[in-house]
Chains A and B, each alone.
Chain A
């Protein structure tokens, strides 16, 4: 096996020269700014304002077949609820088409005999029909209807001076870390993982694949530079770009979106740096293996971007996925990063979460870099 001409010892000047060249190249193409600045700002904005899983305004159809004083108080409870936008009708046939068209999330039917049965010591069934084409929303709506009904029962019991017994068990909720249940508080930190993935894997893969495509990589390899210098020189500018993007995102998250940062900046920087390494390594590996921009972009979307989105507990619950996919999620670096990000932002420096995550990320980057080094070296022969 013949090695490259003069690997020599690690030479800081050569690396500096390469970094300078790379930085210029990054600065020259405006599309890099789009990825490093505009895309992060856009993502934070979308997750901060646009996308929300917060409970708010479900469209509800309320059918009261026979209005009485009691059904009136129930209807008032629904219309006064901040969670529902209520349409009232006397016949369910008036509202069913709206449910079919997807304009209503649920239909609540209070049957004609409800009041009479309720005060005759019997139980009146209130029917709730939910639109199952979105089970998540259906469950939430059902939960709110039940909560409202439970509260109404308690009020009725008080109002009737104990004539109606209160339900024996009541529930008290306490939400930690995010008492107002604002989805923004975990979506915004999570989107930092997506941003770093875009810069680390997609942008790096595209840029280096282009060098292979155009043959400038071969020219670079013919110089006395060794593999370690090459990797550092190539990756350092994108590493810095990613960290700058992370800093910008954190500042925006805390100042504009009011997300608390309960952990320390140092821990945040540390885990971001380790994640950035894993992500860069992945981008480099993809570009080395594909050497083609179109394919590199596809592979990095499939193997880095989509998994970071789906298999990281960012929006979608890993615990609810089939076991096979849960196993897949363990090799997705973003999984460890998102869990640490959400903890550092919302809960604090909780080492039992952060240490295993950092160790896993370190392991992933070590494996990726070893493979990349091996691949790059064989290509030099």
Chain B
């Protein structure tokens, strides 16, 4: 039995290695996707254009606008004559944020009456808008503190912030572990789902069935090569992240790989399940989309899981990508203790058990 299995695994690996296109899709494309898209998913909001209407002629408005212009977060500051021109610029998406300062701004500050700075945000891009208003708020608060200190007053308290794990808030560091997890999942899924579908479409699957291999052996013979290929692809991506993107890997690499085996097995289980369901490669690709899009969107990859409604959070907990993103971030950036990794690894093992059994069950049923 072992020899037969070994032969099948060798055949699968050779088949994948021989085909130039498959080789490219599996081993070369994912690391390069990682390199390109990691820059695209940097959610750090910078380079924004800001529009200003300043009616005030005093020094306070000038000083505060100088600080806004000096901030590296904003690419350009455009001055507008009146509120209507600013409104048009926001409408036409020429600027994302507008600042309006009334003519009595400096006078009110001098009189101690408190002045108001109005921020106009484009709700079409509400996420960026909120982050920008945070930046402006921080500039204004710093300025407030200085103003009060300059006249001998002190604020009762100030906020000092510190960022852990990613001291410069480097967006690349945050994006890489998540993208790495998603791309590993895509490779694992593609290799397993398409391999069976292609054999079915080409008719070689029947040949496999009439061979002395039992269905379980065929499944193992499809699972293990997929696992090896996906692991190899992930190893290349890890090397790229470390060597080219300079993302630190602070945690235990062995633990990451162990967790990755559980993760890939659960993904391969789903891939085998879908490949038993479909008849052609085209349907397998559609299956890939129907599974991967929700799985990626509900994984906390682009948006935090805790923002989802309660019942969707439960769905997210049964999603292997959710757990592996947590593990990946924990190992890359936080050097989290083994207990944290284990807390997200046992759900992966459980999911792998469920998906592999479901895959086997459907596979056997379709054979009958």
Complex interface: chain A residues within 8 A of B134 (CB): 139-140, 142-143, 146
Cβ of B120 within 8 Å of any chain A Cβ, yes or no, is yes
Question: Given B33, B119, B289, B334, which contacts A100 in the complex, CB threshold below 8 Å?
Answer: B334
Cβ of A325 within 8 Å of any chain B Cβ, yes or no, is yes
Nearest Cβ in chain A — how far from B104, in angstroms? 13
Q: Which of chain A's residues has its CB closest to B43's CB?
A: A136
Flag if B43 contacts A171 (CB, 8 Å). no
Q: Which of chain B's residues has its CB closest to A134's CB?
A: B174
8 Å CB contacts to A: which residues of B308-351?
Answer: 308-309, 312, 326, 329-330, 333-334, 336-337, 340, 343
Complex interface: chain B residues within 8 A of A352 (CB): 91-92
Nearest Cβ in chain B — how far from A286, in angstroms? 13
Q: How many B residues touch A, CB cutoff 8 Å?
A: 112
Flag if B164 contacts A131 (CB, 8 Å). yes
Question: Given B21, B164, B286, which contacts A99 in the complex, CB threshold below 8 Å?
Answer: B164
Flag if B294 contacts A42 (CB, 8 Å). yes
Complex Cα distance A182/B124, Å?
Answer: 9
Cβ of B232 within 8 Å of any chain A Cβ, yes or no, is no
Bitwise, B107-145 to A at CB < 8 A (1) or not (0) is 001001011111111111111111101111110110111
Cβ of B13 within 8 Å of any chain A Cβ, yes or no, is no
List 10 A-B pairs, Cβ < 8 Å.
Answer: A51-B303, A143-B130, A167-B155, A168-B147, A169-B64, A292-B21, A298-B25, A310-B40, A320-B43, A320-B47
Cβ of A330 within 8 Å of any chain B Cβ, yes or no, is no
Complex Cα distance A53/B167, Å?
Answer: 24
8 Å CB contacts to B: which residues of A45-73?
Answer: 46-47, 49-59, 70
Complex Cα distance A133/B325, Å?
Answer: 12
Cβ of B194 within 8 Å of any chain A Cβ, yes or no, is yes
Tell me whether chain B's interface is mostly helix, strand or loop, or mixed.
helix
Flag if A132 contacts B156 (CB, 8 Å). no
Nearest Cβ in chain B — how far from A171, in angstroms? 5
8 Å CB contacts to B: which residues of A343-365?
Answer: 343, 346-347, 350, 352-353
Q: Which of chain B's residues has its CB closest to A149's CB?
A: B159
Flag if A176 contacts B122 (CB, 8 Å). yes
Complex interface: chain A residues within 8 A of B39 (CB): 321-322, 325
Chain A interface residue count: which class? Answer: 35 or more
Question: Given A137, A156, A181, which contacts B123 in the complex, CB threshold below 8 Å?
Answer: A181
Flag if A353 contacts B92 (CB, 8 Å). yes
Complex Cα distance A274/B46, Å?
Answer: 31
Flag if B340 contacts A100 (CB, 8 Å). yes
Q: Which of chain A's residues has its CB closest to B171's CB?
A: A135
Which stretch from A31-39, A234-242, A368-376 is at the chain B interface?
Answer: A31-39
Nearest Cβ in chain A — how far from B198, in angstroms? 7
Nearest Cβ in chain A — how far from B170, in angstroms? 8
Given contacts A133-B173, A317-B128, contact A176 B282 (CB under 8 A): no
Nearest Cβ in chain A — how far from B267, in angstroms? 17
Interfacial residues, chain B to chain A (CB-CB below 8 A): 21-22, 25, 29, 33, 36-37, 39-49, 60, 64, 75, 90-93, 96, 109, 112, 114-131, 133-138, 140-141, 143-145, 147-148, 153-167, 169-171, 173-174, 177, 194, 198, 278, 280-283, 285-286, 289-290, 293-294, 297-298, 302-304, 306-309, 312, 326, 329-330, 333-334, 336-337, 340, 343
Complex Cα distance A131/B173, Å?
Answer: 12
Complex interface: chain B residues within 8 A of A149 (CB): 157, 159
Flag if A186 contacts B131 (CB, 8 Å). no
Complex Cα distance A83/B54, Å?
Answer: 32
Flag if A342 contacts B124 (CB, 8 Å). yes
Which stretch from A15-23, A115-123, A264-272 is at the chain B interface?
Answer: A115-123
Q: Which of chain B's residues has its CB closest to A356's CB?
A: B92
Flag if A102 contacts B330 (CB, 8 Å). yes
Given contacts A124-B158, A167-B148, contact A302 B169 (CB under 8 A): no
Q: Which of chain A's residues has its CB closest to B312's CB?
A: A50
Complex interface: chain A residues within 8 A of B44 (CB): 135-136, 139, 320
Complex Cα distance A135/B338, Å?
Answer: 24
Complex Cα distance A324/B120, Å?
Answer: 30
- A-B pairs, top 4 by smallest CB distance, nearest first, are A178-B123, A143-B134, A132-B166, A118-B156
Cβ of A145 within 8 Å of any chain B Cβ, yes or no, is yes
Complex Cα distance A206/B21, Å?
Answer: 16
Given contacts A50-B297, A167-B114, contact A317 B43 (CB under 8 A): yes
Complex interface: chain B residues within 8 A of A126 (CB): 157-160
Given contacts A100-B340, A165-B112, A168-B148, contact A156 B42 (CB under 8 A): no
Nearest Cβ in chain B — how far from A211, in angstroms? 11
Bitwise, A156-174 to B at CB < 8 A (1) or not (0) is 1000000011111111111
Cβ of A294 within 8 Å of any chain B Cβ, yes or no, is yes
Complex interface: chain A residues within 8 A of B114 (CB): 166-170
Flag if A130 contacts B162 (CB, 8 Å). yes
Given contacts A133-B334, A319-B48, contact A174 B121 (CB under 8 A): yes
Complex Cα distance A33/B157, Å?
Answer: 60
Given contacts A140-B130, A171-B140, A295-B21, contact A165 B153 (CB under 8 A): yes
Question: Given A31, A133, A156, A302, which contacts B174 in the complex, CB threshold below 8 Å?
Answer: A133
Flag if B161 contacts A125 (CB, 8 Å). no
Flag if A343 contacts B290 (CB, 8 Å). no
Complex interface: chain B residues within 8 A of A138 (CB): 163, 169
Complex interface: chain B residues within 8 A of A31 (CB): 278, 282-283, 286
Complex interface: chain B residues within 8 A of A99 (CB): 164
Complex interface: chain B residues within 8 A of A321 (CB): 39-40, 42
Given contacts A146-B137, A175-B126, contact A125 B158 (CB under 8 A): yes
Complex interface: chain B residues within 8 A of A185 (CB): 123, 126
Complex interface: chain A residues within 8 A of B194 (CB): 294
Complex interface: chain A residues within 8 A of B118 (CB): 171-172, 174
Flag if B156 contacts A123 (CB, 8 Å). yes
Complex Cα distance A38/B286, Å?
Answer: 11
Cβ of A81 within 8 Å of any chain B Cβ, yes or no, is no
Flag if B154 contacts A121 (CB, 8 Å). yes
Given contacts A131-B165, A166-B114, contact A156 B137 (CB under 8 A): no
